[in-house]
Amino acid sequence: MDKSVIVGRLGAVYGIKGWLKVNSFTDNPESIFDYTPWFIMNKGTWREIQLTSWKRHNNGLICKLDGVDSREDAQALTGVDIAVLSDQLPALPQGEYYWRDLIGCAVVTTKGYQLGTVSELMETGSNDVLVVQANLNDAFSMKERLIPFIDEQVIKHIDITARLIEIDWDPGF
């Protein structure tokens, strides 16, 4: 499943009838239920699973999956990632990106210095942060840089097709 996106994770068992807690990675946690079918990793392969019901419970979410009818069945699925096909995700307006699209992009300064490749993104209180793994021959002996994702001020241009992010940043920082 190359075109899949992990949108959540099944959590602890809830009750005795096969319900599971759901940890949603979507902006609006309940949006995870808008995507069907779900795919879960089972014995080393992805398998499709149908959601039969879901509801809010306390401050979280719980779900019932087709064929998961006992606490023991549910227990076997705790900690399993929930994936959907990437073409199910809504198209974004110009200038907005899914994090998955930025991971693996080369990062270069406006002066042409190759900083490395985006390995992950972090969410902070004020703005997101690019985690850039430095090139092996980095002149500043950097292994990793944390670069704030501030549009126009730091992030000058993103070309998803070319897998390139141009930034205004001092390589020594």
Q: pLDDT tens digits, residue range 52-72?
A: 999 999 889 999 999 999 999
Is the pTM higher than 0.85?
A: no
- What's the whole-number average pLDDT of the chain? 91
Query: What percentage of the chain carries pLDDT values higher than 70?
Result: 99
How many other C-beta atoms can be found within 10 angstroms of the C-beta atom of residue 65? 22
Write down the number of H helices and E strands in the chain: 2, 13
Q: Buried (b) or exposed (e) across 86-115, using 16+ Cβ within 10 A?
A: eeeeeeeeeeeeebeebeebbbbeeeebeb
Give the confidence band of 157 by pLDDT, cuts at 50, 70, 90: very high
* Distant-in-sequence, close-in-space partners of 84: CB < 8 Å, separation ≥ 6: 4, 5, 7, 35, 36, 37, 38, 39
Reading the block at residue 169, the tokens are 């940043």
Q: pLDDT tens digits, residue range 85-123?
A: 988 888 888 888 888 889 999 999 999 999 999 999 998
Give the confidence band of 2 by pLDDT, cuts at 50, 70, 90: low
Highest mean pLDDT among 2-11, 38-47, 53-62: 53-62
**Domains of the chain, earliest start first:** 4-87 (2.40.30.60), 99-167 (2.30.30.240)
**Sign of torsion over alpha carbons 160, 166, 167, 172:** positive
